Amino acid sequence: MKEHLHHNHLCHINYAEGPNKGTPLLLLHGATHRWQSFTSITPELSTCFHLYAPDFRGHGNSQKIQGHYFLEDYLGDIQTFIQEVIKEPIILIGHSLGAMIGSMLAASQSLLVKGLILIDPPLNLDGLRQLTLGFKDQINLLVQGLRLSKWGLPIHQFIPEQVRHCDPEMLFAMTHEFDEVFKLYDADALFKKIKHPTLLLYGNPAHGSLVTAGDITKLLTIKPDLLPVQIQNAGHSPICQDKEATLNAVMKFMEQEGLMPLKADS
């Protein structure tokens, strides 16, 4: 995977790209993460797909733009990235925030997407709001630390590695402007519009998954062809917590839907 910069009309997006081995596969990470959160599965995926893995704005090495961290901002960046960089329909794997943006993209720009794999997406904003507010004090400390680190103070050692690359204003917005940031996200309305083959991978609520059995039951009434698969030993991050089960579920879904060769070397 080699890193590049894409300059859209609003900001610079950092992304990693693999060798061209087939259909474009777009990997969208979760909040506070960056494209490297997929590195444990990219070796397998890169044998039969053309991988693209961008950093969302305010994350990783993408540009930081204070005041522009709403879901529609992330969505606009990704839509433009597909149109200007990939230039053909994609299969999409999104985790958490990436899954939210992926479902919004599939619902609003159907022709850009061929298949959808959503990993532990927040399906209930009330639950996500409570979770976010529960970490408000810790997030405030991180925001303060990141702001101070911009002035050269040696406090990076006290900040978790993955968060060091985040814009503190992005974290502030998600915590203190929650309703404004997520106002366009309505899982029920989105899934009514999604016509693509869709795999929903989710973990165990006992281990921290954001998806409940009730969420799945409700979604199946909205989109009966949805394929839900639970990764029992994982929580909110199945890729990290049970890579083998997650990758097996992804590959099986791809094969069933005709989205990949039956054999990687075919």
pLDDT of residue 232: 94
Flag whether 139 is in a domain.
no
Based on the structure, what is the number of domains in the chain? Answer: 1
pLDDT of residue 142: 78
User: Could you report the per-residue pLDDT of 143-200, keeping only the tens digit for each?
Assistant: 777 776 666 655 556 566 777 788 989 999 999 899 999 999 999 999 999 999 999 9
Flag whether 29 is in a domain.
yes
Phi, psi of 199 (to 5 degrees): -105, 130
When pLDDT is averaged across residues 21-49 and rounded to a whole number, the result is: 95
Q: Say how far apart CA 218 and CA 191 lie, in whole Å.
A: 11
User: Could you report the per-residue pLDDT of 5-32, keeping only the tens digit for each?
Assistant: 999 888 999 999 999 998 999 999 999 8
pLDDT of residue 165: 84
pLDDT of 139 higher than 80: no
**Percentage of the residues of the chain whose pLDDT score is greater than 90:** 76
pLDDT of residue 153: 57
Q: Enter the DSSP assignment of 83.
A: I
The mean pLDDT of the chain is 91
Q: Give me the CATH number covering residue 23.
A: 3.40.50.1820
Flag whether 243 is in a domain.
yes
User: Could you report the per-residue pLDDT of 237-266, keeping only the tens digit for each?
Assistant: 999 999 999 999 999 999 999 997 645 444
Side-chain-facing half-sphere of 204: CA atoms under 13 Å:
8
Flag whether 16 is in a domain.
yes
pLDDT of residue 264: 44
Flag whether 160 is in a domain.
no
- Domain range for 106 is 2-124+184-256
Flag whether 71 is in a domain.
yes
Flag whether 261 is in a domain.
no
CB pairs under 8 A, 24+ apart, for 75-78? 75/101, 75/104, 75/105, 75/108, 76/10, 77/8, 77/10, 77/11, 77/13, 78/26, 78/28, 78/54, 78/105
User: Could you report the per-residue pLDDT of 191-239, keeping only the tens digit for each?
Assistant: 999 999 999 999 999 999 999 999 999 999 999 999 999 999 999 999 9
When pLDDT is averaged across residues 33-50 and rounded to a whole number, the result is: 95
Q: What residues contact residue 222 under an 8 Å CB cut-off, 6+ apart?
A: 188, 191, 192
Flag whether 163 is in a domain.
no
pTM value > 0.85:
yes
Q: Say how far apart CA 200 and CA 198 lie, in whole Å.
A: 6
Among residues 17, 192, 177, 209, the alpha carbon closest in space to that of 95 is found at: 209
Structure tokens at 202: 């989710």
Tokens 């997929």 appear where? 38
Q: Enter the DSSP assignment of 84.
A: I
When pLDDT is averaged across residues 57-62 and rounded to a whole number, the result is: 95
pLDDT of 137 higher than 90: no
- Kind and range of the H or E element at 106? helix 97-108
Please report which confidence band the pLDDT of residue 62 belongs to, taking 50, 70 and 90 as the band edges: very high
